[in-house]
């Protein structure tokens, strides 16, 4: 093996902490800039910091969600199982940024106005869809540990974790619906998701459909 390719052990001991810290950077930036904003200091959140932070956290949640979906195809492509070492961490980071996204909206934007928030979830379809994606993501995140794989059995665990494809679709629809007019950016995310789903269309189809074909 080429000396340039790290061993599984190196990836575990060095690679993982590096990736962990790298994915924490956007969150640190956000918290730091909100802290500056509350101190009335110059900050990067701009003139509508609530809007900026809702969008920032949403963007990163979606990016990490798509990145987690890209791990398996990438692993197949390079013919090595090593990238899969990072899959759970990336997925949990997606969940973490979703939590920040909701915190930003519920606390900083809506100031815990529960009546108004409930009305939003019920009446605004794009928020309903985003909320549904979050609810689906909770059990997936909770059962991400090895213990849960054992408790559920590999087959049931895998079936549960297929929910991530639905979550990806809901998240992209949430993003497209939130923008005004015909905008390119959400469609870029939608295309990436489409490519990632195309990679595993065989796996996602129920077996009997494939048998018939």
Partner 1 sequence: MLIKHKKGWQETENSVTDESVYINRRTVMAGAAALGAAAVVPSALAQRDRVLAPLAARPTGYNSNESLTPEAAVTQYNNYYEFGTGKGDPFQNAWQLQPKPWSIVVDGLVDKAGTYALEDLIDFNALEDRIYRLRCVEAWSMVVPWIGVSLASVLKKIEPQSGAKYVRFETLADRAQMPGLRWPVLDWPYTEGLRLDEAMNDLTLLAVGLYGKEIPNQNGAPVRLVVPWKYGFKSIKSIVRITLTDTQPDTSWNISAPREYGFYSNVNPDVDHPRWSQKRERRIGEFGRRETLKFNGYGEMVADLYAGMDLRANY
**For partner 1, the closer CB: 10 or 185:** 185
Among residues 89, 76, 67, which one has the least CA distance to residue 193?
67
Least Å distance, CB 10 to partner 1, is 37
CA angle 102, 142, 26 (to 5 degrees): 45
Q: Is 8 helix (H, G, I), strand (E, B) or coil?
A: helix
Number of CB atoms found within 10 A of residue 87's CB: 18
What does the binding site for partner 1 look like in residue numbers (CB under 8 A)?
Answer: 36-37, 40-51, 111, 116, 119-120, 123-126, 177-185
Tell me how far apart the alpha carbons of residues 145 and 122 are, in angstroms, rounded to a whole number. 33
**For partner 1, the closer CB: 93 or 134:** 134
Least Å distance, CB 112 to partner 1, is 11
Least Å distance, CB 195 to partner 1, is 21
Q: Is 6 helix (H, G, I), strand (E, B) or coil?
A: coil
Least Å distance, CB 35 to partner 1, is 12
**For partner 1, the closer CB: 121 or 210:** 121
């Amino acid at each position: 093996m080429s000396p340039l390719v790290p061993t599984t052990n190196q990836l575990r001991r060095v690679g993982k902490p590096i990736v962990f810290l790298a994915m924490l950077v956007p969150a640190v930036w956000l918290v730091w800039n909100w802290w500056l904003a509350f101190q009335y200091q110059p900050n990067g959140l701009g003139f509508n910091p609530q809007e900026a932070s809702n969008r920032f956290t949403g963007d990163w949640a979606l990016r990490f969600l798509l990145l987690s979906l890209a791990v398996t195809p990438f692993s197949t492509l390079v013919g090595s199982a090593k990238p899969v070492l990072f899959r759970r961490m990336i997925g949990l980071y997606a969940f973490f940024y979703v939590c920040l996204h909701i915190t930003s909206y519920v606390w900083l934007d809506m100031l815990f106005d529960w009546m108004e928030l409930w009305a939003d979830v019920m009446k605004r379809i794009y928020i309903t869809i985003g909320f549904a994606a979050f609810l689906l993501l909770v059990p997936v995140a909770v059962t991400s540990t090895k213990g849960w794989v054992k408790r559920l059995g590999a087959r049931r665990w895998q079936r549960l974790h297929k929910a991530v494809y639905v979550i990806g679709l809901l998240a992209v629809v949430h993003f497209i619906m939130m923008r005004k007019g015909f905008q390119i950016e959400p469609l870029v995310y939608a295309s990436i998701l489409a490519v990632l789903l195309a990679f595993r269309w065989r796996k996602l189809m129920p077996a009997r459909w494939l048998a018939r074909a």
